[in-house]
Amino acid sequence: MINTREPLLSITDLCVDYVTDDGNARAVNQVNLDIYAGETVGLAGESGCGKSTLAFAIANLHSAPALITDGKIKFQGQDVLTMSQEELRQFRWAQASMVFQSAMNALNPVLTIGDQLVDVVLAHETVTLADAQKRAEAMLDMVGIHVSRMKSYPHQLSGGMRQRVVIAIALILRPKLIIMDEPTTALDVVVERDIMDQLYGLKEEFGFAILFISHDLGLMGQIADRIGIMYAGKMVELGNAEGVLSHPQHPYTQGLLRSFPTIHGPKERLEGIPGNPLNLLDVPTGCYFQDRCSQCEQICMEVTPNIEQYKVPEERQVACHKLSQGGLS
């Protein structure tokens, strides 16, 4: 069903290039994506497919050699790419915040976690130091960390606790969008589950939207409303999470799922996707997945497929010639 609400975030024909001595590598290639208030959108794909580059572009965090070369990013109707530095400073934490892959790298090692939480509040809001400290203590409590840890340094916390602190920093200004880039990569499954349960309790309370970037399709299937699949900078499939995972339409999505282990259903041999990810400095004419696709035909080598809307059976966006010809599904 097509969403008739106004999106919280709207990305249109976005392109991001990395400028190198050997040429420009287009890491994000004409991506379109809408995210609505309160929903969770998962973004999956192999390393180097453009997921993190897209996330950084949303917050306009790119610097050389990365360059946003085309497209628009609108947040509640305002173009993020034309914001002034002051508007960006307010937008990045008060409206949209990020949880990065490595919590240890995201935290300042010479400041206590209490100071880091308080600094975020004081930098964006006109409040007293005492009020900022109370906000910080309340936020730590919400993510399951005792207020006595306000005086702890990052190295004195476990990996799971550091990740909770990063989430607390991301949420303390009550943003409308949280961008999470592989937030549970270094955590064991028990800690991962605990943190995600806590995050979703906070999501129910505050009503923020989430862009969740991960390699873990199993976790994504449990938490996402919609899932987008990226390959070589392009969005190749986007739809309802359950539909994408149970009835994938793009050959790349099918390959990803065949290579992912599951404890449910019959035991099947895992199959990797043949070949290597595309060299973005040497892209072919036609479909970028052609050299790794078992269903490749002549048209795939001649014409680049556009991502189009299909009903298979639920509405899905897919970039594949086979589907446009009535195949695949």
At 196-251, the pLDDT tens digits run: 888 888 898 899 999 999 988 888 998 999 999 999 999 999 999 999 999 999 99
CATH of the domain at 28: 3.40.50.300
Position 105 scores a pLDDT of: 78
- Residue 329 pLDDT > 70: no
Q: Which of 9-13, 15-19, 97-101 has the lowest mean pLDDT?
A: 97-101
Position 136 scores a pLDDT of: 97
Q: Which percentage of the chain shows pLDDT scores above 90?
A: 70
Q: 292 in a domain, yes or no?
A: no
Position 1 scores a pLDDT of: 47
Q: 284 in a domain, yes or no?
A: no
- Residue 326 pLDDT > 90: no
SS3 26: strand
* Residue 267 pLDDT class (50, 70, 90 cuts): low
Q: Which of 56-70, 106-120, 258-272, 286-300 has the lowest mean pLDDT?
A: 258-272
Q: 313 in a domain, yes or no?
A: no
At 148-193, the pLDDT tens digits run: 999 999 999 998 899 889 999 999 999 999 999 988 776 778 888 8
The helix-helix angle for 129-142 and 159-171 (nearest 10°) equals: 130
Domain count, the chain: 1
pTM of the model: 0.91
CA separation for the pair 14, 51 (Å, rounded): 13
Domain that holds residue 98: 9-274
CA separation for the pair 329, 322 (Å, rounded): 9
Q: 299 in a domain, yes or no?
A: no
Q: 203 in a domain, yes or no?
A: yes
Position 93 scores a pLDDT of: 87
- Residue 97 pLDDT > 60: yes
**Mean pLDDT, the chain, whole residue set:** 90
Q: 107 in a domain, yes or no?
A: yes
Within the chain, residue ranges assigned H as helices are 51-58, 85-90, 103-106, 113-124, 129-142, 159-171, 189-206, 217-223, 241-246, 251-258, 321-324
Beta-carbon contacts of 148 under 8 Å, excluding residues fewer than 6 positions away, are none
- Residue 49 pLDDT > 70: yes
Q: 66 in a domain, yes or no?
A: yes
Q: Which two tokens stand for residue 116?
A: 């880091």
Q: 320 in a domain, yes or no?
A: no
